[in-house]
Chain A
Amino acid sequence: MSGAAPVLSVDNVVKFFGEHQVLRGISLDVAEHQVVTVIGSSGSGKSTLMRCVNLLEVIDDGVIALDGRDITDPRVDPDHVRRRIGVVFQAYNLFPHMNVQDNITLAPRVVHGVPRAAAVERARELLARVGLEDKADEYPDRLSGGQQQRVAIVRALATDPRLLLLDEITSALDPELVGDVLRLVRELAEQGMTILMATHEMGFARQVADHVCFLDQGVVLEQGPPEQVLGDPVEPRTRQFLARIIDAGRL
Chain B
Amino acid sequence: MRTTELYEPSARELDRRAYRRSRARRSTAVALASTLVFALLAYLTVTNAPGWDRTRATFFDISYGWEVLPDILEGLWLNIRVLAVAAVAVVVVALMLALLRTLRGPVFLPLRLLATAYIDLFRGMPLLIVLYLVGFGLPALRLDWLPTSETTLGTIALVLTYSAYVAEVFRAGIEAVHPSQRAAARSLGLTYRQTMRMVVLPQAVRKVTPPLLNDFVAMQKDVGLISVLGAVDAIRKAQIEVAQTFNFTPYVVAGLLFVLLAVPSARLADWVTNRAARRQQAGGLV
**Which A residues are closer than 8 A to B by beta carbons?**
12, 14, 16, 19-22, 24, 51, 55-58, 60-63, 72-75, 78, 217-218
A79 and B282 CA atoms in complex are apart in Å by: 19
* Cross-interface CB contact of A63 among B12, B282, B283, B286, cutoff 8 Å: B12
Residue of B nearest to A47 (CB): B282
The reply to whether B16 and A74 contact each other, CB–CB distance below 8 Å, is yes
A218 and B2 CA atoms in complex are apart in Å by: 9
Q: A60-B13, A61-B10, A72-B16 are in contact. Are A21 and B2 (CB under 8 A)?
A: yes
The reply to whether A22 and B13 contact each other, CB–CB distance below 8 Å, is no
* Cross-interface CB contact of B1 among A56, A58, A62, A217, cutoff 8 Å: A217
Q: Find chain A residues with CB under 8 A from B10 CB.
A: 12, 61-62
Q: Find chain B residues with CB under 8 A from A55 CB.
A: 285
The reply to whether B2 and A24 contact each other, CB–CB distance below 8 Å, is yes
Residue of B nearest to A25 (CB): B7
A16 and B8 CA atoms in complex are apart in Å by: 13
- Shortest CB-to-CB span from B199 to chain A, Å, is 19
Q: Is the C-beta of B20 less than 8 angstroms from some C-beta in chain A? A: yes
A-B contacts besides A56-B286, A57-B283, A58-B285, 15 pairs, CB < 8 Å:
A14-B7, A16-B7, A20-B3, A21-B2, A21-B7, A22-B1, A24-B1, A24-B2, A51-B284, A56-B284, A56-B285, A57-B284, A62-B10, A72-B16, A74-B23
**Which B residues are closer than 8 A to A by beta carbons?**
1-3, 7, 9-10, 12-13, 16, 19-20, 23, 282-286
A78 and B1 CA atoms in complex are apart in Å by: 29
Q: Find chain A residues with CB under 8 A from B284 CB.
A: 51, 56-57
A12 and B8 CA atoms in complex are apart in Å by: 13
Q: Find chain B residues with CB under 8 A from A21 CB.
A: 1-3, 7
Q: Find chain A residues with CB under 8 A from B19 CB.
A: 74-75
Across the A-B interface, the 9 shortest Cβ-Cβ residue pairs = A56-B284, A61-B13, A57-B284, A74-B19, A74-B20, A19-B3, A74-B16, A61-B10, A61-B9
Q: Find chain B residues with CB under 8 A from A61 CB.
A: 7, 9-10, 12-13
Q: Find chain B residues with CB under 8 A from A72 CB.
A: 16
Q: Find chain A residues with CB under 8 A from B23 CB.
A: 74
Q: Find chain B residues with CB under 8 A from A57 CB.
A: 283-285
The SS class assigned to the B binding surface is loop
- Shortest CB-to-CB span from B7 to chain A, Å, is 7
| Residue contacts A-B, CB under 8 angstroms, 15 given | A14-B13, A19-B3, A21-B1, A21-B2, A24-B1, A56-B284, A57-B285, A60-B13, A61-B7, A61-B10, A61-B12, A62-B10, A73-B16, A78-B285, A218-B1
The reply to whether B9 and A60 contact each other, CB–CB distance below 8 Å, is yes
Q: Find chain A residues with CB under 8 A from B2 CB.
A: 21, 24, 217-218
A24 and B16 CA atoms in complex are apart in Å by: 18
Q: Find chain A residues with CB under 8 A from B12 CB.
A: 61, 63
Q: Find chain B residues with CB under 8 A from A22 CB.
A: 1
A55 and B9 CA atoms in complex are apart in Å by: 19
A134 and B285 CA atoms in complex are apart in Å by: 36
A61 and B3 CA atoms in complex are apart in Å by: 16
Residue of B nearest to A20 (CB): B3
Residue of B nearest to A217 (CB): B1
A72 and B16 CA atoms in complex are apart in Å by: 9
- Shortest CB-to-CB span from A95 to chain B, Å, is 13
A150 and B216 CA atoms in complex are apart in Å by: 46
A75 and B1 CA atoms in complex are apart in Å by: 32
Q: Find chain B residues with CB under 8 A from A20 CB.
A: 1, 3
Residue of A nearest to B284 (CB): A56
Q: Find chain B residues with CB under 8 A from A73 CB.
A: 16
Residue of B nearest to A43 (CB): B1
A63 and B3 CA atoms in complex are apart in Å by: 21
A56 and B16 CA atoms in complex are apart in Å by: 17
A56 and B286 CA atoms in complex are apart in Å by: 6
Residue of A nearest to B17 (CB): A74
- Shortest CB-to-CB span from A83 to chain B, Å, is 14
Q: Find chain A residues with CB under 8 A from B7 CB.
A: 14, 16, 21, 61
- Shortest CB-to-CB span from B275 to chain A, Å, is 15
A74 and B16 CA atoms in complex are apart in Å by: 6
Q: Find chain B residues with CB under 8 A from A78 CB.
A: 285
- Shortest CB-to-CB span from A4 to chain B, Å, is 22
